Copies of this chain bind each other. A is one copy, B any other.
Amino acid sequence: MSRMRELVDEVLAEYAWLIDNDKLEGWTELFTEDARYDIIPRENHDRGLPLCLISCKNRAMIRDRILALRIANEYNIHYDRHIIGPTKIAEQDESTVRIEANYLVVQTNQDGDSKVFSAGVYRIFLVLVDGRLRIKDMVVVADTFRVPTLIATPI
Q: How far is the CA of A17 from the CA of B118 in the complex (A)?
A: 18
* CB–CB A108/B9 < 8 A: no
Decide yes or no whether A64 CB sits under 8 A from chain B: no
Q: Count A interface residues, CB 8 Å.
A: 46
Give the docked Cα–Cα distance between A13 and B85 (Å): 8
As for how many copies of this chain the complex holds, the number is: 3
Set B13, B104, B118, B120: member contacting A104, Cβ < 8 A: B104
Task: Pick the interface stretch among A32-40, A65-73, A132-140, A141-149.
Answer: A141-149
Contact status B88-A86, CB under 8 Å:
no
Q: Is A59 an interface residue (CB 8 A)?
A: no
**With A and B bound together, what is the CA distance between A111 and B119 in angstroms?**
14
